[in-house]
Amino acid sequence: MLQQIEHLAVIGVGLIGGSVARSLKRAGYAKRITGIGRNAAHLEQAKALGVVDDVSTDIARGVEEADVVLVSVPMSAYGAVLSQLTGHLKPGAVLTDAGSTKQHAVDAAHHSLTDDELARFVPAHPIAGTEHSGVEASFASLFDGRLCVLTPMTQTDTAALETARTMWQATGSRLMQMDAKEHDDFLAAVSHLPHLIAFGLVNAVRKLGDDNHDPFCFAAGGFRDFTRIASSSPEMWRDIALCNREALVEKLDALEVELNALRKALEAGDGEALVNDFRAAKEARDAWLATHGEGL
On whether both 22 and 157 belong to a single domain, the answer is yes
Q: Cα–Cα distance between 225 and 216 in angstroms, integer?
A: 14
Q: Would the pLDDT of 209 be above 90?
A: no
Average pLDDT estimate for 153-166: 96
Per-position DSSP letters for 164-190, written without gaps between them: HHHHHHHTT-EEEE--HHHHHHHHIII
The answer to whether 205 touches 219, Cβ cutoff 8 Å, is yes
On whether both 209 and 268 belong to a single domain, the answer is yes
The answer to whether 32 touches 55, Cβ cutoff 8 Å, is no
Per-residue CA distances from 34 to 5, 18, 46, 62, 152 (Å): 13, 11, 10, 7, 25
* CATH code of the domain in which 39 resides: 3.40.50.720
3-state DSSP of 46-110: HHHCCCCCEEECCHHHHHCCCCEEEECCCHHHHHHHHHHHCCCCCCCCEEEECCCCHHHHHHHHH
Q: Would the pLDDT of 1 be above 60?
A: no
Of the residues 158, 178, 198, the one at which a domain ends: 178
Of the residues 140, 162, 178, the one at which a domain ends: 178
Q: Would the pLDDT of 145 be above 90?
A: yes
On whether both 196 and 170 belong to a single domain, the answer is no
* CATH code of the domain in which 201 resides: 1.10.3660.10
Confidence of residue 296 (pLDDT cuts 50, 70, 90): low
On whether both 201 and 149 belong to a single domain, the answer is no
Average pLDDT estimate for 172-180: 96
Confidence of residue 212 (pLDDT cuts 50, 70, 90): confident
On whether both 70 and 158 belong to a single domain, the answer is yes
The count of structural domains within the chain is 2
pTM, rounded to two decimals: 0.87
Confidence of residue 106 (pLDDT cuts 50, 70, 90): very high
Let me know if 84 is exposed, middle or buried by CB neighbors in 10 A (0-12, 13-18, 19+).
middle
Residue closest to 112 by CA, chosen among 81, 158, 91: 81
Average pLDDT estimate for 242-255: 96
Q: What is the pLDDT of residues 124-144, one digit of tens each?
A: 999 998 888 899 999 999 999
On whether both 132 and 202 belong to a single domain, the answer is no
Average predicted confidence (pLDDT) for the chain: 94
Q: Cα–Cα distance between 291 and 282 in angstroms, integer?
A: 14
On whether both 115 and 15 belong to a single domain, the answer is yes
On whether both 161 and 62 belong to a single domain, the answer is yes
Contacts of 77 (CB under 8 A, 6+ apart): 12
On whether both 163 and 194 belong to a single domain, the answer is no
On whether both 162 and 24 belong to a single domain, the answer is yes
DSSP 220: -
Pairing mode of beta strands 124-126, 147-150: antiparallel
Strand partners, 126: 148
On whether both 172 and 235 belong to a single domain, the answer is no
State residue 133's pLDDT score: 86
> C-alpha angle 275/230/136, rounded to 5°?
135
The answer to whether 118 touches 85, Cβ cutoff 8 Å, is no
Domain of residue 60: give its range.
5-178
Contacts of 124 (CB under 8 A, 6+ apart): 96, 97, 98, 148, 149, 150, 151, 164, 168
Q: Cα–Cα distance between 68 and 9 in angstroms, integer?
A: 6
On whether both 174 and 188 belong to a single domain, the answer is no
State residue 3's pLDDT score: 77
Of the residues 178, 213, 231, the one at which a domain ends: 178
State residue 295's pLDDT score: 56
